[in-house]
Chains A and B, each alone.
Chain A
Amino acid sequence: MSTVVEQIEQQIAKLSSKAIKKNTGTIRAVADGVAKLDGLSDVMYNEMVQFPGGAIGIALNLEADEVGCVVLGDVSQLKEGDEVQTTGKLLSVPVGRALLGRVVDALGRPVDGKGPIDAKEFYPVEKIAPGIMVRKSVNQPLFTGIMAIDSMIPIGRGQRELIIGDRGTGKTTICIDTIINQGRINKVGLASGDKSFRPVYSIYVAIGQKQSNVVRTIAALEAAGALEYTVIVAATAGDNPANQYLAPFSGASIGEWFMENGMDALIVYDDLSKHAVAYRQISLILKRPSGREAYPGDVFYLHSRLLERAARLDGKGSLTALPVIETQAGDVSAYIPTNVISITDGQIFLETDLFNQGIRPAVSVGLSVSRVGSSAQIKVTKQVGGKLKGELAQFRELAAFAQFGSDLDAKTKAQLERGSRIVELFKQPQLNPLSIELQAAILWALQKTYFDAIEVKNVVSAANSLKDYLTSRKDALLTKIRTEAKLSDEIEAGLKAAADEWKSTFAAQ
């Protein structure tokens, strides 16, 4: 009680009898979350505008005789003639560690019922991306925990890697697995007391998604213990388009705080197709000229300025971006997919056919690429998985040929056999990321032909058995792989002994 009175007293003490100048305007029209305003002669582009009833708007169209403004909040209370005021502030969101483990809306307000967020700092939602000189090349790995990605399409800290595919091909699953893997790595790393360890904090931005999906994602992260390292920015399908348009920019600001303060962060934009649709809706209502597929002319700039904010900064931290794009019938040449492909540093393409064949994650090796390449891989992954992508691509080509004839030479048959084993080995259940040391051990076993004698249909169970064996009995060896990050003679000897022992026990089963 007394604190409330104190607060009021403090605020009263701040009041001044001097006249305060405000720039005002009136609502001329409100439609579909967009207000047309008269007046506001001093308003800035992207400035927050105060509506009656506490609603906030952002000035997006500054014209000679009117201001177009998107309203963030309930528009049902607004009517023609209502007075609006400029605030002199650009839209800002709370940032900092206080947001970890929380679910917020596009304006950074908590929506998880866990009380207010004690944020000390605010960052503007729109910020110019870091320049050329402050950036550093991407050469530190960010492990997704997905063997097919970490070994063939490595992602580095500060990279922008697009996840693209049709609906229901496992795009979100890859992102969630990556976030869960960061949580696991953070736990192990922070518990080890290693001062050089750099945790990766995650930001998951849900744009235009069903609320039930967001709830499921939160539950999955909570169950995996990754929520405490994650911030969720939710602008679901029920939110107005203005919030959906702003959410990724708010998420980027939250991520930038970690980057600017010497930490590493990962941001997932799920998904930018819906973001583009929300922006198209706003632009059409604002009567901006429409272009291809009715998207406004600056839809490329919309995504490029967002994704350029992901970077690795010299002497500071990094922000890695995983934007998601949903394609229609596998068409990667549509407008928004090609835009985002050209902005990002590579893409992971998920194929519906592979998904339906049970190959999950359904990563298409031919169409997926990481432009950062092996510079974002640790040495052990390069040693055991350097040739995998080529082998798998060769296998896909040969498999297509093999369908037409039965007479195959021994070499082709061997390649097909090996390829089909690699495909089996890369199958991985969802919400179950693998540590990089375990991935290395399994790929080493593959390289050393330990799986060649096993029937293709049994490869998955054999790999699971090997994983269980290594985690339960060879923990010291796995720790050594993780800490040394390369295959030394000693590690290789240890792996050989372990694999031989496992082989004898597996054969006996």
Chain B
Amino acid sequence: MRGDKKTKLLAKQLFKLSLRDGQVSSEQVAGVLGYIEQAAPRHALALLKLYQQAIVTELAKSHARVEHAGPISAATLQLIASAMTKKYARPVTATAQPNPRLLAGLRVRIGSDLYESSVAGQLATLSHAV
């Protein structure tokens, strides 16, 4: 269930309240959750789902998930984080996630953007082109 219009609007407002200086603040989120618990608004479950999705989407914008096949150094991760911070003009953190299906190379996911630099990605492009 995606919730009705009022629920969507409330979720949007609660999401805005969860930001501090344009970033998701854990304190603000705790406050919002406390309010929901106390006020028990209509369609609370749908509201929580919408709110959670908005928070997850926002957090994903500031977090680079680096999939890699083979070893990756902390310095490389730091390099990616600083490059993304510069590109998106907001603080971005990077975490590594091993993915042997990539065969070799990296795949960086930040928000809905995907930076593909893996052998598996190249092979997929090749198979699509031929």
Contact = CB atoms under 8 A, between A and B. Distances in A.
A18 B114 contact: no
Given A20-B115, A23-B114, A85-B114, 19 more contacts: A8-B126, A11-B126, A11-B130, A12-B126, A15-B125, A19-B108, A19-B116, A19-B117, A20-B116, A20-B117, A21-B114, A25-B112, A38-B57, A39-B111, A39-B112, A41-B111, A41-B112, A42-B112, A65-B54
Nearest to A40: B112
B53 interface: yes
B129 A11 contact: yes
B14 to A, nearest CB: 14
Contacts of A22: 113-116
Interface residues of A, number: 24
Contacts of B122: 15
A313 B53 CA distance: 51
Q: Which of B53, B106, B111, B114 has the most CB of A within 10 A?
A: B114
A14 B108 CA distance: 22
A364 to B, nearest CB: 49
Closest 3 pairs (CB-CB, A-B): A39-B112, A19-B117, A22-B114
A356 interface: no
Q: How big is the B interface, by class? A: 20 to 34
A11 B57 CA distance: 36
Interface of B: 8, 12, 50, 53-54, 57, 106, 108-109, 111-117, 121-122, 125-126, 129-130
A64 to B, nearest CB: 8
Contacts of A64: 12
Contact of B115 (A7, A19, A25, A41): A19
Nearest to A19: B117
B86 to A, nearest CB: 15
A8 B126 CA distance: 8
A17 interface: yes
B115 A24 contact: no
Contact of A18 (B106, B109, B113, B117): B117
Contact of A17 (B113, B115, B117, B126): B117
A431 to B, nearest CB: 45
A42 B130 CA distance: 27
B87 to A, nearest CB: 10
Nearest to B112: A39
Contacts of A17: 117
Interface string A1-44: 00010011001101101111111110000000000001111100
